[in-house]
Structure 1
Amino acid sequence: MSIRVSLLLIACLFLQAQLHAQKFVANYDESKIPEFTLPNPLVTEAGEAVTTAKQWQETRRPEIVDLFQKHVYGRSPAACKISHKVVSTKDDAVSGKAIRREVDVFFGDTTDAHSMRLLIYTPKTDKPVAAFLGLNFQGNHSIESDPAISLGDRWVRDRRNETVKDNRATEKARGVASSRWPVEKIIDRGYGLVTIYYGDIDPDFDDGFKNGIHGAMADQTKDIPAAEKWGSIAAWSYGLSRALDYLENDAKVDGDRVAVFGHSRLGKTSLWAGASDERFKMVISNNSGCGGAALSRRAIGETVGRINTSFPHWFNANFKQYNQNENACPVDQHELIALIAPRAVYVASATGDQWADPKGELLAEIHAEPVFRLLGTDGFGVDGVATSKVAPDQPIKGGTIGYHLRTGGHDVTDFDWQQYLDFADRHLQ
């Protein structure tokens, strides 16, 4: 590591310590947003205008991916070989409408490699189905209360209730997140659902990247500069891509028609997974906020400095340079959304979740739309979308870009899923 980089990291750590000592007060006043200039996704690093799909795909898109890897999420190892083992099968799940399976996927070609467990629901049909793939926060057993689903035995964040004891799930955790995963509704619409406990991939706490796949795959990342190594969001995204590797060879799921979904920090994850892995057919971000769909430069609600202080393991070390310095970052989140083009993307916000900056989430899609248009899509499907015209509970979902501002708080609701299913009908079926 160069002396210059070392001094920069020391300065970042010093600034981080100062931030810890100060109580963060979020700004929610639009008039106090600092002046900023957004980088243009359709201008190359050499200053050339991007006017063709070929220029985008061969030059500009790789540039933007590289910038996000270097400055935000970190560089992940190359795709590894995977192996799998079927753990359980239930042929009459979801009131007899579905087949439910538990499948262990290993990050390697041997069963002693690090693993994650997929919980897979598919309708009873002879044809492979389109599916939603998403990470969950509390374990696969939290999706429904059926005691036949294996109770996770890995680290779980303490929720100060009886669902967790000593950072391990208890029997009382079964079904606690079922309101966020309307399995029967998804099955009735003809889709599959695949979910994975995100802690299987990488436990969500800062231990210097020793546990999870960070530790298991340390040899594969040893040649990546320290400040550019993958954070936890990149690790969770990597896990989603390896799950897709498995689903591409699953007879019950059509691997070419998989939508990646995530809420909150896992919405940030679904966006990076969809941006960096073009195999995902559709990408859904639910209340993802800072580091997800919201423009970082607005510095409203949760900011880059705040998120890097509270969750220093989510992003790479370089991202800490932009604490209270968002305008210096060479990318912003509209470019993350642009990387998904021409595939379908849906961003959802909530009126009671100003921490995630709903206006900034919609603005990111608005500023990404020129890339979608360049690549021959209909963008929003309507002309002149503006933040002042988007009313709560009035979705925009007629085009390749979808958006809604839901009444309520930071959560996943039946209203959200209704929009995602309708959007999927247009783009996955």
Structure 2
Amino acid sequence: MFTHRLRLGVAMASGLAMIALVSGCQSSHKEQVPQAPATVPKGTLTAVTSDAAFVYLDGKWEVLAGGGPNDQPSDPLKTIDFSPKGTLTATTVGSNDDALTGNSVGLWLYDKGWQQVTPNGDKTVAVYGWSPSNVLYAIPDDGQTKGIWYQSNGKWQVVNGSASFGFINSIQWSPTGIMTIVAEASDGSSSVWQYVNGKWDRLDYSSVPFAADGLQVEWSPSGVLTLATSAHGVWQYVGGSWSQPGGVNSPIGNVTQLAWSPQGELLISGDSKKALGLWQLQNTGWSRVGGADAPFAKDGIRQFGWSPTGTLTVSDSTNGKIYQMESGKWTAVWNNTPSDSHSVIPITFGWSPSGLLTCNGGFLGGIWQYQSGTWNEVGGDNSPLKNQAAAPFAWSK
């Protein structure tokens, strides 16, 4: 279960931040577009360039703008997602942003115009998350206000006991609604905590090898808390202690993504020279998905996932292609790659509510959709996202 948060202090954070900055280096399309509605309708494709956010309505892109220069983000837009009830949430890269960690960002909501989120009066946010009940939690990043803050009755309040943590890398909720965080102490060690009945519980951390790693938290279909680590593979928390799934070592140490197939099988991938290919855990052993002859077996993986009908899809970060498993074979469905390998920009993909494979075009830029074996740029030549490489996109809820 992916949650709405900034992924900071984990292995993949630097890659995402750099991709966002690459997007910001592209020339901006200045064509005038109509003003968008006050809120984003459910199921609407939404995307951002470095300096504006757009929604695709009635066959055209419309800009999300505020009422004046102070009513909208002034720094480059970096990420977007939506609250459980559909409120557009965007982050911006601040003027003192660290390109490798993504610190010092602004957090904005779009609801009848842009509104900046200022927990306890602070304008920079390190990490945020929406609870299943649609409550916004945010962690200030100015070094003055400590702890996790949430909105209640229009006021910001601090979560009991959260001010004692060091840097908090992520915040999300278990399938049963338990707040779960990854915290980093002053000595660089990472730990996982859960907020249960008004108290913080540190999950057993004795004699584990990954305390110095960047950590990503996920849950299995049955609700088992699982970690992707930046140097020691995958771990799960069962019976009050950590162990490796299947009782065997992970084939790669630096895990940048883990996910479960529709059949409940665990898959992991990496995006570095020491963590290549896509791997699957079966019968207490790991194997390469598609075997050693898979087209991406020796490449880094930017992203993988399953279509609504269960088609496994992979974005290859080495060559910029997208592959799908069709009739037991891998087929490259996106072949628009640059002649110069140094110009490859890894592609992010997703599926529309109607099931159309959609991607941000890699080095080509724009937002594209795949239907009946053909890719078409959303909005065509008039798209304000044309030539905007690696543009973040999502659909409203």
What's the TM-score, normalizing by structure 1?
0.26
Compare relative contact order (CA 8 Å, sep 6+) and give the higher one, 1 or 2.
1
Q: Which has the higher helix share?
A: 1
What's the TM-score, normalizing by structure 2?
0.28
